[in-house]
Structures are given as structure tokens and as C-alpha cells.
Amino acid sequence: MSTPTPVTVTVTGAAGQISYALLFRLAAGGVYGKDTPVRLRLLEVPSQTGAAEGVAMELEDCAFPTLASIDITDDPAVAFDGAGAAVLVGARPRGPGMERADLLTANGAIFRDQGRAINDHAAEDVRVLVVGNPANTNAYIAHRHAPDVPAERFTALMRLDHNRALSQLAARLDAPVGELDRVVVWGNHSATQFPDVSYLTRGGAPVTDGLDRQWLEDDFIPRVARRGSEIIEVRGSSSAASAAGASIVHMRDWVRGTPEGSWATVALPSRGEYGTVPGVVTGLPCRSDGGEWQVVEGLEIDDFQRARIDASVAELVSERDAVHGLGLVD
Ligand SMILES: NC(=O)C1=CN([C@@H]2O[C@H](COP(=O)(O)OP(=O)(O)OC[C@H]3O[C@@H](n4cnc5c(N)ncnc54)[C@H](O)[C@@H]3O)[C@@H](O)[C@H]2O)C=CC1
Ligand SMILES: O=C([O-])CC(=O)C(=O)O
């Protein structure tokens, strides 16, 4: 029996909270499956490479059959060399009272430099997932500094918002979460996002009862959109295990395909789908056949949806303009 070629997966911010939940699932085969070994490349700032060593020791102690090797570095050129996947987690997280926009200046330069390193060193078919906030605009920055990598290879994490929406809907409808499908979270991973139930199915059939407009506007949409802040208030620090779990299923579905008939929310550089502004990295309903993300086509959009989508995309446009203004993108 021939041994499959290992995939190199680079994870940044490897000593942080999210990575502490993410790396073990990655190493256990959560993205590529039980038959494909992974080589982990951990990128950290110099002061944290020691802590990343400790995480690597624990990974070794798990004796995962799918973990081929672990390398730790503070040099992006080394970290992304030959990478088939890059999960960009490393960034400063938001504390109590901060909005994601406050992080633009703090974190933008990280994604400029990592975009360049991905462009110059990663594998041709690299898949990039940006988790560090503001995730959509950080993905925009990285993509704009990687002109040799196709735009659709850069994504930002909105699967956490998608999962939060599913979980709130399951509670409201008293339904097992696994029976629900076809939600989408349009726009930005921020308080302006639009979690949309217009196409929701339960067990494959459209859901028509139990989701009145007042509940959607007064409870559901703000609850999902502000869930990150709620977790920060209650837990004292930002979501970590749920962000890691969403990152794993985002990458797994990208690499191995979404289940038949199912959707995921993926933030991708827009091609103008559904009236969004080309270039900005916005949440869209997507399917994967195990190769590329494909935006679901042909959905009807009514006036209520239009206004919500436009408002969140307008925020993405203002973040885009801000990073151009800061000189982070030409
Ligand atoms: N998109 C999403 O759904 C979510 C995004 N986040 C974001 O993910 C990011 C990470 O969160 P946590 O792991 O909780 O933070 P953390 O502070 O525990 O870990 C961040 C790690 O990144 C490292 N780091 C900073 N700059 C780096 C660089 N240039 N290269 C490599 N590593 C670098 C830090 O040394 C630290 O170890 C934050 O920006 C947070 O806001 C958090 C939850 C959900
Ligand atoms: O809210 C934050 O800062 C962390 C985050 O992105 C989330 O939990 O959605």
C-alpha cells in the first residue's frame, strides 16, 4: 500500500487560544481525513515560539497517526513554504468594549506581510482561511498582496456565524440542529452581518412556520450578530473552541466537499454576486465539490434582504477604504 503524500498546513498564532483547540483536531485528521498525514508549520511571534513548543510537545504526546511532523518558526517565509493550507489565526483579539474596527490598524500589517509570504512561498493550490479579526478585511489585505494566487483561494471565517444561526434556530423551532440547513450569513463578520433564514430547510423541506418577522428582527439577527460580544462578556475572553470547530468544518468542507444539497457560509472576494461590491470579502452561500467553493446561484432577494445585505457590504467598503487610507493596500 502506498503512503499518501502529507499536506503541509500552516497555522499562525499557534500559541494562542483558538490554536489550542484547532491544532489537535487538525492533527487528528479533522480536515483531510484519516488517510492523509499533515505536516504542521506553526508561526508565532518570537516571544511566543517557546509557548508554541509546549503545544507541539502535547501534540506529540497525542500520538496521532495522521501527524507527520511539526515545525515552529517566527519567519513567514519558512512557515508558508509549500503550504497547501494556511489558517491565519494570529492577531490581537478584541477585549471588552472594543469593536472589530479598532483592530484594523493593529492587525492589518500582519496580513499584508503574510499575504506576501503566501504569494512567494505557498503551494500553487494553497487554500487560505483568515480567522484573525477583522477577518473579512484581513483576508482582503492578504489577497491583495498575493497577486499570483487566485482570489477564490482566500476566504475568511463566517462558519462560526453560520453555526450560531443554526443553533439559535434549532432552539426556536425545537428541532435537532442536524436537521436544519440553508441558512446564510451575508456581509461582514461583525455586528452588521445579516443572518438570513429565507431559504431555511428542516429535513429538506422549507420552514414556513415559527419564525415571525418580529422575532427575526428583535431577537434572532441581533443575537447572532452580537454573539461574539456576548461570549466575551460572559467568558471574559473571545470564543476559542467554537471558532476552532468552525475553522475545521470550513476547511473540511472545502477540501472534501459539502454534503449533498447542503450549504455553508463562506466569506470570499466578491465577484458582484447578489449585488455585493466586487472585491470585498463578503459572506455568501457556497457549496464545494471538494475542489473549489462555488457560490449558490439563483436565490431570490427581497427588499428586506437587500437593505440588510447592502448595509453590511457598505461597512466592508468602508473598511476597504480605511486600509487603503492607512497605506496597507495600494
Ligand atoms: N473569525 C472568527 O469567527 C473569530 C475570530 N477570532 C479572532 O481570532 C484571533 C485570535 O484569537 P485568539 O486565539 O483567541 O487570540 P490569542 O491572543 O489567544 O492568540 C493570538 C496569537 O497570535 C499570535 N500572533 C500575533 N501576531 C502574530 C503574527 N504576526 N504572526 C504569528 N502569530 C501572531 C500571538 O502571539 C498569540 O499567541 C483574534 O483576532 C480574534 O479576534 C476569534 C473568534 C472568532
Ligand atoms: O467577537 C470577537 O471579537 C471574536 C469573534 O470574532 C467572534 O466571537 O465572533
Q: Which tens digits make up the pLDDT trace of 65-80?
A: 999 999 999 999 999 9
Task: State whether 224 and 249 are in the same domain.
Answer: yes
Q: Which residue has the cell 476559542?
A: 240
Distance CA 193, CA 135 (A): 13
Of 77, 44, 41, the C-alpha closest to 59 is 41
Which position has the higher pLDDT, 101 or 130? 130
Residues 278-303, mean pLDDT to the nearest whole number: 97
Percent of the chain past pLDDT 70, that is, above it, reads 98
Task: State whether 140 and 201 are in the same domain.
Answer: no
Task: State whether 126 and 263 are in the same domain.
Answer: no
In this structure, are residues 146 and 120 in contact, taking their beta carbons and an 8 Å threshold?
no
Whole domain around residue 303: which residue ranges? 159-320
Q: Give the total number of structural domains in the chain.
A: 2
Task: State whether 115 and 187 are in the same domain.
Answer: no
Show which of 90, 123, 156 is a domain's final residue.
Answer: 156
Show which of 105, 124, 156 is a domain's final residue.
Answer: 156
Checking phi first, is residue 29 left (phi over 0); if not, alpha (psi -120 to 50) or beta?
left
**44 alpha carbon – ligand 2 mean position (Å):** 21
Structure confidence at residue 92 (pLDDT): 82
ipTM of the complex in this document: 0.99
Task: State whether 167 and 152 are in the same domain.
Answer: no
Q: What is the pLDDT of residues 108-165, one digit of tens each?
A: 999 999 999 999 999 999 999 999 999 999 999 999 999 999 999 999 999 999 999 9
**2 alpha carbon – ligand 1 mean position (Å):** 38
- Cβ of 157 below 6 Å from ligand 1: yes
What is the rounded radius of gyration, in angstroms, for the C-alpha atoms of the chain? 19
Query: Would you please indicate which residues are annotated as catalytic (active-site) residues?
Result: 189
Task: State whether 147 and 175 are in the same domain.
Answer: no
Atom of ligand 2 nearest to the CA of 103: 3
Name the maximum alpha-carbon separation found in the chain: 59
**278 alpha carbon – ligand 1 mean position (Å):** 27
The residue whose C-alpha atom lies closest to atom 1 belonging to ligand 2 is 228
